[in-house]
Amino acid sequence: MIKLHARLSHRTDAEPFVARIVRNLQNTVDRNREILLTNQTETMVPGFRGYLMVSHTDDSSTSDSPIWPLPAELDHLAEGDVVRISPRSGEIWVMYRRASTFNSMLVTERCNSYCVMCSQPPKVANDDFLRAAYLEAIPLMSPETRELGITGGEPALLGNGLVELLNACKTHLPQTAIHILTNGRLFRDIEFCRALSSIEHPDLMLGIPLYSDISYRHDHVVQADGAFDETIRGLLNLARFQVPIEIRVVLHRDTVDRLPQLARFITRNLPFASHVALMGLEMMGFARANLPALWIDPADYQPQLRAAVEHFDRHGMSVSIYNHQLCVLDHDLWPFARKSISDWKNEYLPECDRCAVRADCGGFFASSSLRRSDHIQAIEAAASI
Ligand code: SF4
C-alpha cells in the first residue's frame, strides 16, 4: 500500500501551501509553486517554495526554513507529483501522482447519505479547504493526465464549487477524462444539471449508485428516506442534458439477491447509461463495522452476477465487474472483469505469485485482509485459457 500522508520532521510557522515536486531543475516553471526534491545539501538552489531532502536524516533545519527530510514512507514521490504541506501541523499530503492512472480528488467528506457499506464515512466538519486546495493543485497537474476522479463524501454538496472545479479541469486539463462519484440525489435540481452541462466538458462521466429496483431497499442501503426517488429524478435530469452516466452497484448481502431484477429495471428505465459497474465490497469504514451483516462470499452470488451481466450484455449495455479476483468469478465472466482497484491500495497474496492469470487479475483491496473469499486459488496455466 502506497502512503499518501506523512508527518514532517519539524513544524514551522507558515500557511499551508500546494506545490509541484521538481527533481530536474530544467523542469521548473514557477519556483514559488514548486518544491525541490534533492539530495544535494551544499549547493541548494534558491527560490523554491520548499525543499525535501532525500536520504537526509540530519534535521538541523529546525528553524523557520522550509527544508524537510523526505519522510521515508513518501520515497515514491517523483517529478510532477503535487503535494500540500501544512508547516504548522507538520503534515504532507500527496494530492496527485503524475505516473498514476488512479488519481482522484476527495473534495469533501460531507454527505447527505449514510450508506451501510460506506468506505469513507461522512464527517460534518467544514472542509472547504479541500476545494480550495484542489483549485490550487489542478493547474499544477500534468495536462497529459489521462483520467482524474472527483469523489467524497458527496461532491454535489459543493454546488457551484463543483462547477468551479470542473471549469478548472476543463481549462487546465482539457484532455483529461473526469469521473465524478456522486449519489446523484442533488441532481434532482434541474438548474444544477443545467449549470453542470453548460461547462461543456469534453470528457465527463458521473458514476451514480443504484442498489435496488425497489425504492425502500435502495433507501435502506443508503440510509436515507426518499433517496431512490431523488436519484432516479437526478439520473433522468442528467440524461435530459446529455451528461454521460455510469450506474454503480456495490455487491453485498443487501444488494445481490435482486441483482437480476435491478438489471432489468436499468435496461428498461435507464438505457441511456453509458456503463454499468458491478463492484465488490471494499472493507473500510462502515463496511468494516457492518461486515457480519453485509458479507457474502462472491463465489456464492455468481448465479445472480452472471444473470445480471448476461442481461446487460444482451441488451447492448456496456457492463464491467470491478474489485473481484478472477479465481472467484465464473470463467465466462472474466471478459467483463477489470483491474479497478487504485494502485495505492491494491495488493496480492503469496498464492497469487504462482497464478497464471495474475497479470490480468485485479487482486485485492489492502483492507481485504479482514475477510476474503474461501475460493481464492491460483489458476493453472491450462485453466486460464
Ligand atoms: S490467485 Fe490471486 S492472482 Fe490468481 S486469480 Fe486469484 S486473486 Fe487473482
Ligand 1 atom showing the smallest separation from residue 378 Cα:
1
What separation in Å is there between the alpha carbon of 155 and the centre of ligand 1? Answer: 34
Is the beta carbon of 378 within 6 A of some atom in ligand 1?
Answer: yes
Nearest CA to ligand 1 atom 2: 352
Angle 304-309-313 from CA coordinates, rounded to 5° = 150
Q: Take residue 327 and report the three cell numbers written for it.
A: 479465481
Q: H-type helices in the chain, by residue range?
A: 128-137, 160-172, 190-198, 215-222, 227-240, 259-269, 285-289, 291-294, 302-314
For residue 25, give the nearest of 54, 45, 53, 41 by alpha carbon: 45
For residue 304, give the nearest of 352, 244, 258 by alpha carbon: 258
- What single letter denotes the amino acid at residue 48? F
For residue 232, give the nearest of 273, 181, 201, 197 by alpha carbon: 273
Is the beta carbon of 376 within 6 A of some atom in ligand 1?
Answer: yes
Is the beta carbon of 116 within 6 A of some atom in ligand 1?
Answer: no
What separation in Å is there between the alpha carbon of 368 and the centre of ligand 1? Answer: 13
Is the beta carbon of 327 within 6 A of some atom in ligand 1?
Answer: yes
Q: Take residue 268 and report the three cell numbers written for it.
A: 428498461
Is the beta carbon of 356 within 6 A of some atom in ligand 1?
Answer: no
pLDDT tens series, the chain, 385 aa? 789 999 999 888 999 999 999 999 999 999 999 999 998 766 678 899 999 999 766 555 556 788 999 999 999 999 999 999 999 999 999 999 999 999 999 999 999 999 999 998 999 999 999 999 999 999 999 999 999 999 999 999 999 999 999 999 999 999 999 999 999 999 999 999 999 999 999 999 999 999 999 999 999 999 999 999 999 999 999 999 999 999 999 999 999 999 999 999 999 999 999 999 999 999 999 999 999 999 999 999 999 999 999 999 999 999 999 999 999 999 999 999 999 998 888 999 999 999 999 999 999 999 888 899 999 999 987 666 5
Q: What is the per-residue pLDDT for 247?
A: 98
Is the beta carbon of 329 within 6 A of some atom in ligand 1?
Answer: no
What separation in Å is there between the alpha carbon of 153 and the centre of ligand 1? Answer: 31
Nearest CA to ligand 1 atom 6: 327
Q: What is the per-residue pLDDT for 44?
A: 78
Is the beta carbon of 236 within 6 A of some atom in ligand 1?
Answer: no
List the domains of the chain with CATH numbers: 5-95 (3.50.30), 104-384 (3.20.20.70)
CA atoms within 13 A of residue 265's CA, in its CB half-sphere: 16
